[in-house]
Structure 1
Amino acid sequence: MNRLACAACLLSTLAAWTPPHAAASSRVPAEKSNQIEIRNFMFTPKTLTVPVGAKVVWINRDEEPHTVVSANGQFAPSKALDSNDSYVATFGKPGTYVYYCTVHPFMTGTIVVK
């Protein structure tokens, strides 16, 4: 094989190749959709609907500490989350999960699992 043919073959292979990180980055929007931000003393979104088996991530964007605690003990409580700390819970059964912050009880939210 001559050099020109070899170079053309290499270029076509590289053009078709997808780097490993490209597949991971395509999943980011799906994971972000299961994310709740704590900002301005609010859970945003206030209500989140997820499928059975989904992981939900809470991230504290406030300067104040916050917690994530199930109103009915349906999932394990978080520790106090400082700025930019996160907490993850997996929801294995359908239902409605109401939660709140023990430091600021007026902060409430709901996870609906279908």
Structure 2
Amino acid sequence: MNRLACVMCLLLAPGVWAVAGAATAGHAAAAQPNRIEIRNFMFMPKTLTVPAGATVTWVNRDEEPHIVVSANGQFAPSKALDSNDSYTTTFGKPGTYVYYCTVHPFMTGTVIVK
């Protein structure tokens, strides 16, 4: 009976750890709601609405570099973001902030500040 219990523990353990890891990863994502991921040459979400004074972070998940730039110079541009690099800026005033990637100008997004 003890052998059977040990075998069952070994078989079930990977699933238990996977569930625990998923919960931790989900919690980490929830802790940073003002995040825009750059993935597959897109900004996700394409439009993000935040309150005035909010800080927004872009994270590059592509293998290609990207540069985040405000279409109207409303915020400072990022440096070239390599894989897993991030860029953060604070939006102090209400308004609509359109941005794009200077390396890939077809990539566009919007931050709406209320």
TM-score tier, shorter chain, comes to 0.7 to 0.9
CA distance in 2, matches of 1:113, 1:96: 6
Residue 34 of structure 1: CA displacement? Answer: 0.2
Q: Give 2:62's aligned residue.
A: 62
* Larger radius of gyration between Structure 1 and Structure 2: 1
Residue 28 of structure 1: CA displacement? Answer: 6.2
Residue 27 of structure 1: CA displacement? Answer: 8.7
Q: Which runs of 5+ in 2 are unaligned?
A: 1-26
What code does the residue aligned with 2:85 have? D
Q: TM-score, normalised by structure 2?
A: 0.74
Q: Does 1:50 align with 2:50?
A: yes
Q: TM-score, normalised by structure 1?
A: 0.74
Number of residue pairs the alignment of both structures matches = 88
Pair 27,59 (structure 1): closer, same or farther in 2 beyond 3 Å: closer
Q: Give 1:11's aligned residue.
A: none
Sequence identity percentage = 80
Q: Which runs of 4+ in 1 moved over 4 A?
A: none
Q: Give 1:111's aligned residue.
A: 111
Residue 56 of structure 1: CA displacement? Answer: 0.2
CA distance in 2, matches of 1:107, 1:28: 23
CA distance in 1, matches of 2:98, 2:81: 18
C-alpha root-mean-square deviation of aligned residues, in Å?
Answer: 1.4
Instruction: Say which SS state the counterpart of residue 73 (structure 1) adopts.
Output: coil
Q: Give 2:7's aligned residue.
A: none
CA distance in 1, matches of 2:89, 2:68: 10
Pair 65,28 (structure 1): closer, same or farther in 2 beyond 3 Å: closer
CA distance in 2, matches of 1:66, 1:90: 19
Q: Which runs of 5+ in 1 are unaligned?
A: 1-25
Q: Does 1:94 align with 2:101?
A: no
What code does the residue aligned with 1:86 have? S
Instruction: Say which SS state the counterpart of residue 32 (structure 1) adopts.
Output: coil
